[in-house]
Amino acid sequence: METRIYKIDDCTVCHDKICQAAEIIQQEELVAFPTETVYGLGADAKNPKAAAKIYAAKGRPSDNPLIVHIAGFEDLFQIVETLPEQAKVLADKFWPGPLTMIFKKNQNIPYETTGGLDTVAVRMPNHPVALALIRESGCMIAAPSANASGRPSPTLAEHVKEDLEGKIPLILDGGEVGIGIESTIIDLTEEIPMILRPGYITKEMLERVIGTVKIDPGILQQDSLARPKAPGMKYRHYAPKAELMIVDGDRADVIEKINALTAEMQACGRRVGVIGTDETKIYYRGDLVLSIGSRADEDVIAKHLYKILREFDAGNVNVIYSECFHTPNIGQAIMNRLLKAAGHHVLIAKGNQGETKIV
């Protein structure tokens, strides 16, 4: 199949392209489109055959449910069985935006869309192209991130092309996304609302609006006893091809440790990648040293994470060492994704000593 790519700078000027994309959705086919978090791979959420095509194109396990994207709060009434009162309060504050809420579903949403679950994940994206596509198609759009299963989520249309060219008919290219990490997921079917995936909207931001919120214990630790409630969180997503190890500690210790490890690896003929920051990049001696941005700007760190992991795949390194990014707000989401990419391998740097731990 030929994959067309339409550049959309302005939805009004590009109205005919949005109309073509909407028609493709109505015809049971797939369209990749930008959202403010990452690119999504969309299909008509109420059509089981269309939803099934998403799993085939991505190579996604069929038990991993999709997020349904809507363009108005009232759309929820069509697809949920019960609407908890927190939903309206959260929507007023955070929609359109990077927050996904989980509800009990009704029969209008097929099990193909929810991976067999009786609940449905819903969000209203804050991106003009995404909203225009939903409105023009007259459909609710089921969309996971538009990467091949197991690859980092796409933050540029080029990433979607890398993974899905030949498998889908159309990519809408809206340039680089704004946030770069997938939405926060909150489960409102629990008695106390529970975060199933951390994102740009933090626990504190949610608690200011609806009171106590829990975090799914299954996502905090690499602990086989606690199984994540969001099926997608159990897969080792976001994994670069090379082995990735995170080095934590004081800045000078981390630089020293990474350089010592780099020298050891290079002596064995291995190519080393390093994820540093604008402040530390010049100190590293790896073969491919990339800055994720300035440590002072956590939004930029979040935005560059997936792009950087893809650059290492293209750069043919055998091993990657990364600094830690426990930044104040979106830091929990950044570290959640980085730890998964690293299979939770963290090395604590202390002077020239070091200790490995699995967290």
Which of 22, 24, 43, 64 touches ligand TXA by CB under 6 A?
A: 64
Q: Which residues are registered as beta bridge partners of 122?
A: 68, 101
- Please give the size of the binding site for ligand TXA, defined by CB under 6 A: 30
In the shown chain, the binding pattern of residues 160 to 199 toward ligand TXA, with x for contact by CB under 6 A and - for none, equals ----------------------xx-x----------xx--
User: Parallel, antiparallel, or unpaired for β 194-197 and 184-187?
Assistant: antiparallel
CB-based contact 145:199 (threshold 8 Å): no
Q: What are phi and psi of 185, to 5 degrees?
A: -110, 125
Q: Which residues are registered as beta bridge partners of 321?
A: 245, 274
CB-based contact 144:230 (threshold 8 Å): no
Q: Which residues are registered as beta bridge partners of 170?
A: 4, 31
Which of 24, 31, 71, 102 touches ligand TXA by CB under 6 A?
A: 102
| Residue 35 makes contact with ligand TXA by CB under 6 A | yes
Residue reference for tokens 């209008």: 108
| Residue 145 makes contact with Mg ion by CB under 5 A | yes
Taking CB under 6 A as the binding criterion, the range among 23-31, 86-94, 97-105, 210-218 that sits at the site for ligand TXA is 97-105
| Residue 232 makes contact with ligand TXA by CB under 6 A | yes
Helix 298-314 with 157-164: angle, nearest 10 deg:
30
Q: What are phi and psi of 239, to 5 degrees?
A: -90, 120
CB-based contact 45:123 (threshold 8 Å): no
Which of 6, 22, 37, 335 touches ligand TXA by CB under 6 A?
A: 37
| Residue 231 makes contact with ligand TXA by CB under 6 A | yes
Closest distance to Mg ion from the beta carbon of 151 (Å): 9
- Within 110-149, which residues bind ligand TXA (CB under 6 A)? 114, 117, 119-121, 125, 143-145
> What single-letter amino acid sits at 91?
A
Residue 119 interacts, among Mg ion, ligand TXA, none and using kind-specific CB cut-offs from 5 to 8 Å, with ligand TXA
Which of 66, 99, 308, 334 touches ligand TXA by CB under 6 A?
A: 66
DSSP string, 342-357: TTTEEEEEETTEEEEE
Residues found near Mg ion in the complex (CB under 5 A): 145
Interface with ligand TXA by CB under 6 A: which residues? 35, 37-38, 40, 64-67, 98, 100, 102, 114, 117, 119-121, 125, 143-145, 182-183, 185, 196-197, 229-233
